[in-house]
Structure 1
């Protein structure tokens, strides 16, 4: 995703917002131009462009097919550590995970103790609650859509459990787009995400 071994962050790089975007599984299966029969095109490039428009450094890697969530999360977590090691402030780092990407982000938040920021988009359901024991760190914003029958469950279960978050907020959407709401940079989730990123300060 990004290699920072031996590098030092410039003053500008340290002060900038850094966003790691973790895409949904369909991108693993079909590649960058993925199209769902149910939800249409996954507008990955438009999503990344929307984040770059706020003058953030944006990282996004196309994962291999059937990437293991825990293993991939450990890899990203080490890269986050490397950003902090070269001087990027933790609260200038945000991981935005969508669908499977949100599950990966949840694993990262559970075992990385740095106070970085997270946005979980449509990553919770009964299966996740039954098969994980996440204890989140940092600042967490969860966003889900009431019409989503794949991962449209509130994160209240996780908010009520023991965790190490300094802030844990949630937004419920009602776009009527089901799981497809995260396939494009909709104002409904993009604007609160941008505000979440902007307001996290040391």
Structure 2
């Protein structure tokens, strides 16, 4: 009897928790307000139909491998494969609508993270501007170009974590943050040095995957 009752109690308790860990191609139909959601936006080269395209200088971009390594049991990962020639501002609007749907379904902004590399990082920045949430989490991977720094209409909102490669021509988000002083709730940035230039983010290297996941899973904004 004790074992049976223990099993019933354990089942009830366990079923009341949703630990995430799923990978979605788009926003799932079922939304749990207590779960955490991470959106990953890939680089320009992946736009189209090939999830593992080859760049003549930087090699293969392995979108499936990145999704697998970026996923975690503590959150749901939403990683959409964008069509070729996707207009950044239009897609950012779609991304913003997905986040707004989560918010309307009771998901706290602090449980939502936007992660983007290169073109995906540009899209992430635009979506952040659209949402204007001081509590959302934003991860920019090698996307703070001089062009983005000059676009006054784009201001990153929320808690920002930036990662850039020292051998890459795209560097720090410092200039972007400098003109977003009233919108960035917190800012942390690190550099990695793999010697792989922009291609450092083409595969799930531990140099950037590990710190990004650690930041996404942090208990308090920093």
Q: CA deviation at 1:171?
A: 0.9
Which residue of structure 1 aligns with residue 177 of structure 2?
Answer: 159
Q: Verify the 8 A CA contact 2:144 2:176 in the aligned structure 1.
A: no
Which residue of structure 2 aligns with residue 54 of structure 1?
Answer: 73
TM-score by length of 1: 0.88
Mind listing any 5+ residue stretches in structure 2 that lack a counterpart?
Answer: 1-25
Q: CA deviation at 1:132?
A: 4.5
1:23 aligns with 2:48: no
Q: Deviations over 1:120-158 (max 9, x none)?
A: 001022222234532221111111111012xx2211111
The 5-angstrom pairing of residues 44-193 of structure 1 reads 44-114=63-133, 115-149=135-169, 152-161=170-179, 162-193=181-212
What CA RMSD, in Å, does the superposition of the two structures yield over aligned residues?
Answer: 1.8
Q: CA deviation at 1:15?
A: 2.9
Number of residue pairs aligned between Structure 1 and Structure 2: 194
Q: Deviations over 1:98-131 (max 9, x none)?
A: 1100000011112212321110001022222234
Larger radius of gyration: 2
Query: In structure 2, what is the Cα distance between the partners aligned to 1:158 and 1:47?
Result: 26
Which residue of structure 1 aligns with residue 15 of structure 2?
Answer: none
Mind listing any 5+ residue stretches in structure 1 that lack a counterpart?
Answer: none
Q: Greater relative contact order (Cα 8 A, min sep 6): structure 1 or 2?
A: 1
Query: In structure 1, what is the Cα distance between the partners aligned to 2:71 and 2:82?
Result: 20
Query: In structure 2, what is the Cα distance between the partners aligned to 1:28 and 1:58?
Result: 19
Seen in structure 2, the aligned counterparts of structure 1 residues 90 and 140 have a Cα distance that, compared at 3 Å, is: same
1:2 aligns with 2:27: yes
Query: In structure 2, what is the Cα distance between the partners aligned to 1:26 and 1:163?
Result: 33
Query: In structure 1, what is the Cα distance between the partners aligned to 2:196 and 2:95?
Result: 30
